[in-house]
Every structure is written in structure tokens, then in C-alpha cells.
Amino acid sequence: MKTIKPATFEAWEKLAQQELRDRPVESLEKDYGGINVRPAYFVQDVPETVAGETPGVAPYTRGVRASMYANRPWTIRQYAGFSTAKESNQFYRKNLAAGQKGLSVAFDLATHRGYDSDHARVTGDVGKAGVAIDSIEDMKVLFDGIPLDKMSVSMTMNGAVIPVMAMFIGAAKEQGVSAEQLSGTIQNDVLKEFMVRNTYIYPPEPSMRIVGDVMEYAYQHMPKFNSISISGYHMHEAGASAMQELAFTLGDGMEYVRAAQQRGLDIDDFAPRLSFFFGIGMNFFLEIAKLRAARQLWAKIMEDLGAKNPRSKMLRTHTQTSGVSLTEQDPQNNIVRTAFEAMAAVLGGTQSLHTNSFDEAIALPSDASARIARNTQLILTHETGITDIVDPLGGSYYVEALTAKLVAGAAKIIKQVEENGGMTKAVASGWPSRQIEKSAALRQTRIDKGEDVIVGVNRFVLEEESEFLTRQIDNDEVRNQQILGLKKVRKNRDNSAVQTALKALTDCAQSGEGNLLAVAVDAAEKRASLGEISTAMEKAFGRYEGEAKIISGVFSQAYEGDAQYNILLERIKNYEKKHGRRPVIYIAKMGQDGHDRGAKIIATAFGDMGFVVNFGSLFETAYEVAKHLKNMQVDAVGISSLAAGHKTLVPELIGLMKNQGQGHIPVVVGGVIPRDDYQYLFDAGVAEIFGPGTNVLQAAFAVLNRIEGQKTNL
């Protein structure tokens, strides 16, 4: 048999150059967030270690189980929750009957931030971006008819993890299911909250104690339950590159392992119950390589930390298709995007998967869109043949080379973090957040300039968008129902016993002795509310208020020499000559939504363009924003809304501004807002609405036009 000499990059480069003729081969190369990717790869690009890697064997690059999906497919775990516990329960039971294999609970922002539904700060948030939980009675309704000794339950909860876990454990007990029988996962990843998502409650140090108490309680009482899910998903959504998502997520994981070790727990006793959560975006092969690299890196990290049990070295992960890749424009395209992302997650070796609904860039999923999202996974499982082969892309020159590049790049960032004291110190300094914000801003400039094509947004745009039904939640009705439920619970409970239990919780928090979750379970069973349990700990820990810092220079550098950008700069200079100052915009984040990617991109861009930008604090009420505005000279107000509180909070703010003589100041709104709500907001006095996919430069022109008295609805 004739031996064929392996192809080389140099040979390919010579052939490619003949085809390109008038431009260098380097023009075909791409930068994937710090990874330089060329169009062709060869056997020489593959690390020598690849040939010896086996699925189910450390470092698990090829999968954590030898048989992977050929034996058992991944778990279809759709993330859902909205309105009341009763409505969410009906939704869960319907999906389980239709083929879903596990539950993944989304809580509303009031619950995330430790507030009862009757608290003045959450008027626009109750039941809007998840299910409202105020007491153990709500938790019992949420899982009514769902056998918790048989059903695996995942819960995305961090800030209010103590009361939520306490109510889950208590509700299961009253269903006849012991803590030892419960299986599933609680996110409990608070470092990520301080980095990107911001649904924290307490300062970092006591928050880390809470993480440790949950891990310790689960180790002692819940052997089938994963006490932490270390999340890169929210970093992905905030704009992190694949390399950043890997490095910062695994860095967080190292901090949690050390926190458990400092409590005297043996790494091989708790590490097999650690799990991860990654986002999956549209760069197909990069996302596949990311999951493979994560497993390889984690195996080495755990070995260095002293793990000997093979299961301690396995990185098991849930994945979710990207929300930020979904578009408001031509949204049926999102069905295709989600299918590609789901396939990437599966080819990357995920253990469970959530597929987003196509309408999530606009509103909560409808029943029809949720069915399509779930069926996407069923079709992948049963119709594509993808479950028949273990790691089908193993050995691919490109995938293996990309995996190696991600491993090397992420390891370099992790080393930098470690040399500076670890992720807790890094998060406190704000360095990871700034890196992610820079990455997000750069991505936005590429989209706005058309360098990164988004079908239906900056290329192949529809002349007229079709209409379709979206799920609407009556916030006032849900909140009223929750308040009635709270009143009933408080009326029927033994208030003396509740106060005794809450004092014990405060004492536990203040003394540093005992386990907070163990004490909270007693309080929850006595019918203490979620807000009361959170407040009991807040008396000892205080409530954390983060400081928003805005990066600069990204947009001015990216748009240097751009004709339209220069026109805007000139207009702002002329405004300054005329008025003696630059135009001033106040950017507000009202309600309990901590996702601030969009608001920070706008703040960064407008600042680079010449506006004076005042960025408000997170979690403010309409009254607090109006109070700031009363004492400021401001030309426009921008409101960022991603959690469906716009119909409550925006009109309230406009009314307060009118009352204090600022009704002439244009108010613009950006974020996830159903088109059905546009007219409602215009009628309330909103000047402009910028939905997902809005070009930032065009938005700046529109805001400046409004400031100068010109009307331009985008």
C-alpha cells in the first residue's frame, strides 16, 4: 500500500495563495476572542496526547462516560417558571408528560433578591421573569403532583439560596420525601453574581460562608443532590469570550473547592457532586471545543488540588443555548439558531440541556414556542443519529487544535488570577467584569459595523415584521395573589415560634457558628417567609451595594475614521458650542433585574461618542431615580429593561418626572420589550424604544435628535 505523505500548512498556504491572487492568506484568519483561527488544519496541529485519549478516562476530553449517549441520552431539562406557583406547576406537569426528563426552576427577581412579594421594591418584578415564591406553601404548590423522590430538580438560585433550599427541603418533607431522597442541583454560585449577573444580597465574605454552609449541609444530609452548579452561562450572556468563560468559571470552581476544604471536608467526599453550567453560542466548533477543554482543564485542576477519586475529576455540566444570540427581528430564525447551538452542546458532551424558545428575545415563552424548543431536543435525540457515536468529532484536526488552544489560553488566565490571590480577590477588584465588558463592547461594534453578520438584523433584513402571540403576565394580578397568600400564611402560623426561629438564624449568622441552612429549614417549616429569612441574615451581614464602573475607548477606537461616527461627534461638538456643555444622559436600571450588559454597552458607547453619561445604581425604584433626576441637569433619560417590569416602572417614573417639572425631558427605553407593549409605552410618554439588535450608533443619533427636539422613531 502506498504511503501518502501528510499534508502540511505550508503546502496548503501555497495553493490557497494561488486562488486568492490579490490578498494574503492571513486575511482569511479570524480572531475568536483571543484565539487566532486559520481556515485549514492538519495532523501536525493536533497534540500528540490526543491519540491516547479515551472516553470515560481522565482527562475526560472525549466525555465523562465511556458509552456517553449510546447508552443514555442527555437529560432534557427545560428552564421555566413564571407567574404563580400554581401556573408554573401546570406548565411543568404538561412538559413532563410530553417528554421532558427533569425540572429546572426559574424564580422571579423578587425571590432572587430576598424580597417578599409585598415589598415596595418589587412592584414591577413579581412573577415576571420566573415564579414567585414567598413561603413553603408556594413551594408545596410548585411541586404538587410531582414526586420529588423520583424527579430530579434543578434550581437557579444564588442570593436567596438559604430560604429557597430551606423551603424546598421542607416542602419535600411534607410531601413525605426526606432530604436524603432528593436529587438535583442548586446553583449556589455567588462569585458569578458579583461578576456579571448581580442578583446578590449580602457582601462577598458572608456570601461565601453561605455557599459553604449549603455545600456542608448537602454533604451531610443530601447525598444525591448537587450543592453547587458553577456557572459560566451568565458570563457568556454578559459578553465573555469562550476563553474568558472557561477561565473565570473554573477559577470560581477552585474557590468553592478550597472553601469546602477549609471546613474540613475531604475533596473526594464532596467533589463528585459538583456540577457546572455553560452557555452555548453560535460559533459552532468553538462551543464544542469549549466543553471538551473545560473537562480537560478541570481534571488537571482537581488533581492539583488533591483529588484521587476519578469522579472528583469529572466535569459534569448542564448547558443552555444562548439567550443573547436570539433576535427580536425575524424571530423564527431563532429556531434554527437554537437547533445549531443544541447540536454543539451535544457534540461537546453535555450531561443535560435547555433549549431556548424562539420568542425569548421578546417575552416569556408561549406554550407553542416552548413545545418547539423541547421538540428540538427530541428530534436531536431520535432522528439525527447523534446519540449512536461517542465523541464523533474526536480526532478532527480543527476541533482538537481548537480544544488545545482553549486549554492553553484559559490556563494562562487562571494562572494570572491565582498569582493575584484567586477569584474572590479578582472579583472584588472588578478585573474579570471589566474584561468581560470590553469583550461585549467589541462584539457590539462588530455587529453594528456589519463585520459580524446577524441574519435579519444587519443583513437580509425583512421590510415588514410578522406578528405573533407572546405570553403576557398580569403583574398586578400575580402580586395581589401572592400578597393574599402571604397574609393567609402569617395569620395561620405561630408567630411567636416564627420569631424565635428567625432570631436563631440571626444569631447563627452573627456568631459564625452552626449551619445557616439547617437553622433556616426550621424557620421555613414554621412558615417564616422568604423575605423574613433573608432579613434575619441581613441583620448580621448587611445588604451589599455594588459600584458600577464603565469602561471607555472601545467604541472610539473601533469607529475611528467612520463617516457616520464623525458626523455624530461633530453634532455633539456643535451642541457643546451652543449650550456650553455636552448633552447629558442618565441611564437607569430600575427593579430587581441585575443583567446590565445592555445598559453598560450603551453607557460605554455614548460616553465615547461625547455624551456625558450618568449611570445609576442597580435595583433602584422609580422614586429613587426621580429623586436623582430632580437634582441634576439632564437632557435625556435611558431606561434599560430586560425583566418585563417596563409597563409598571416606566410610566411610574415618567409620572414622577412630570410632577417635579421634568416632563419635557425625553425618556427612551431599551431591552426585551414585546412589540405589543410599544404603543402602551408611547402613550405613557416614552420617546424612543430600542429593542434587541438595535444599532448603537443609530440609537445615539435618535437620542440626540430627541434632545434637540427632532422626532425619529427607529
Which letter does DSSP use for residue 127 in this model? T
Give the C-alpha separation, 55 to 34, whole Å.
29
Report which residue type is found at 486. Answer: L
Helix (H, G, I), strand (E, B) or coil at 344: helix
Give me 632's grid cell: 441634576
How long is the chain?
A: 714
Distances (CA, A) of 439 to 134, 242, 641, 696, 701: 38, 10, 22, 16, 24
Amino acid 201 reads I
Helices (H), 360-474: 367-383, 397-419, 423-429, 431-448
- Nearest of 392, 369, 292, 376 to residue 342 by alpha carbon: 376
Which residues form the catalytic set?
A: 79, 233-234, 589, 593, 595
Q: CA-to-CA distance for 646 and 472, rounded, in angstroms?
A: 13
**C-alpha of 359 from chain center:** 17
Beta strand segments in 23-174, E: 30-31, 36-37, 75-76, 79-80, 103-105, 153-155
The three-state secondary structure class of 497 is: helix
CA pair distance 510, 617, nearest whole angstrom: 28
* 307-313 CB contacts, 8 Å cutoff, 24+ apart: 307/267, 307/268, 307/271, 308/268, 309/268, 309/271, 309/272, 310/58, 311/271, 311/272, 312/267, 312/268, 312/271, 312/272, 313/58, 313/59, 313/60, 313/271
Cα 524 to Cα 31, 178, 237, 696: the distances in Å are: 51, 15, 33, 47
Compute the distance between CA of residue 601 and CA of residue 594 in angstroms, rounded to an integer. 14
